[in-house]
């Protein structure tokens, strides 16, 4: 994935265009399973959307701001506004469809 987010770059990264953020932790098994799916999605949308990740252990304030209670949680932002949220492991097709809808 192209963007590793933290407290310093989160707002700037999501502020323009479409960004899918993966809220995860390194110890989370389903999160590790989600990573290759996100890498494939990222390859499909390199020009149209950003795929980013945020470690909730290292950035608890941002996770709390968005009410992240279980991981993986993925939030799709359009110009800084959350437009869709997914909890748990998601398929490539589900994410591709959501991003396609958001970039219209």
Active site includes 83?
no
The answer for residues whose C-beta is within 8 angstroms of residue 74's C-beta and 6 or more apart is: 20, 21, 22, 23, 34, 85, 86, 90, 95
Rounded alpha-carbon distances, angstroms, from residue 60 to 6, 67, 89: 10, 10, 21
Active site includes 71?
no
Q: Point out the catalytic residue in the list 18, 20, 21, 31.
A: 31
Q: Point out the catalytic residue in the list 1, 25, 28, 87.
A: 28
SS3 state of residue 24: strand
Report, as residue numbers or ranges, the catalytic residues: 28, 31
């Amino acid at each position: 994935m192209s963007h590793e987010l933290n407290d310093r770059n989160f707002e700037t990264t999501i502020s323009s265009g479409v960004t899918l953020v993966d809220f995860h932790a390194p110890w989370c098994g389903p999160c590790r399973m989600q990573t290759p799916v996100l890498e494939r999605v990222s390859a499909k949308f390199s020009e149209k959307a950003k795929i980013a990740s945020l470690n909730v252990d290292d950035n608890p304030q941002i996770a709390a701001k968005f009410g992240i209670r279980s991981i993986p949680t993925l939030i799709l932002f359009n110009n800084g506004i959350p437009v869709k949220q997914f909890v748990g492991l998601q398929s490539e097709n589900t994410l591709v469809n959501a991003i396609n809808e958001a970039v219209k």
